[in-house]
Each structure stands twice: as structure tokens, then as C-alpha cells.
Amino acid sequence: MDKSVSKDFFHWLKNNGYLNPRFWIDGGAVALLPKLAMVLGSYLLAWFLRVYFPFTWSCLFSGLVAGSSGLFFLRGFYIFDLPQWPFRVLGSSIPELGNAITGSHALNPLFASVLIPLALVALLLGHPTWKWFAIGSALGVASFLVVSAAVSPAVWGLGDSAIARTFLIANALLCYGLARLATKGEAPI
């Protein structure tokens, strides 16, 4: 390949913005401050229950991240001409999975509720290690729901009204109660 052709090609790439990192990442797709609040909130809930020592890598930590924020930085990742739903799914927390494929901002009431944490606790409570993932995800979902109720309470079928806020807060309290019940009699990890 001629050097002038490759130089012209890279010049074209630069002029059209393809070499700019902002082209590949959609900064508007991820609300960073609410996601950080969700993660910190889940840590505080775990500390309040005395089931988590900060910076211990365990199944509880994985559950806190999965329930509260997911791998949120992947949600805004953009590769030209590839479908975006895989990145939205990978970048979603448990309550956001119901709207990840469609890309909607309104939460699915089945996913943004106590139902998935309840199923995880019911399935994993007997396992000595994975029960902490279930408990962590319940705490993470509780934190997610409280922050969502404060920031953007849109829920399918409920809109973004006081009813949606009440639904999110009630389910957050149920998730916290579920985690508290699941840790009853357990020694802190």
C-alpha cells in the first residue's frame, strides 16, 4: 500500500472523528453519579447488617455490584455498526435487565422488585458461599431501587408518578428485609 494512501486514510479517520475515544463511548448512556450512589448505598446497607468487611472480595461483593450497578461502564460502549443490546445487558444491574434489550429507561416492574432477590435467596440460601451472592444482590437491588425512586422513578405501567416511587421504595424495603432475614443467625464475613 502506498504511504500517501495510508496517510490519507488516517487523515480521513481523524477528520471524521473515528480516532477520537468519544466516538466509541456514548457519555450520555451512563449516569455516573447515580450508579456510584447505588454502589455506595449497597456497601452501606451491607455494613449496617454487619455482613461485609469493606474491600473483601467475596460472593457478597459480586452480589452487591450485580444488584446495584452492574458493569455500568459497558452500557455506554459503542462499536460502529454492531448491535448495542449485548453491551446494555452486560452493563445492567439486576433491576435493569428487564429493559436492557429494548434500551428503555422505564424499569420493568418484575425485575425492579423483590422477586429476583427472593428467587436467588430461595435457591442459594443452602449453599455456604453462594448465599452471600444472593444476600448481596438483595442489598444491591434495595440500593438501586432507593436511588431510582429519588432520581428517575419511571416504571412500566406506573409512569414516573408518586405511585412508581412508592412501588420502588416498598420493594427496596422488602429487599432489605429479605437480606436481614437471610443473615439472621449468620456470623459476619
Q: Model pTM? A: 0.76
pLDDT at residue 176 tops 50: yes
Average pLDDT for 150-169: 93
* Residues 64, 140: Cα–Cα separation, whole Å: 4
- pLDDT tens-digit series, residues 70-123: 887 777 776 766 777 888 888 889 999 988 877 788 999 999 999 999 999 999
* pLDDT at residue 104, rounded to an integer: 81
* Residues 29, 8: Cα–Cα separation, whole Å: 33
Identify which has the larger pLDDT, 19 or 75: 75
- Percent of the chain with pLDDT strictly greater than 90: 40
Which residue has cell 473515528? 18
Measured over all CA atoms, what is the biggest interatomic distance in the chain, rounded to whole angstroms? 73
Average pLDDT for 164-186: 93
Collapsing DSSP to helix, strand or coil, 21 comes out as helix
Cβ pair 161, 171 in contact under 8 A: no
* pLDDT at residue 124, rounded to an integer: 95
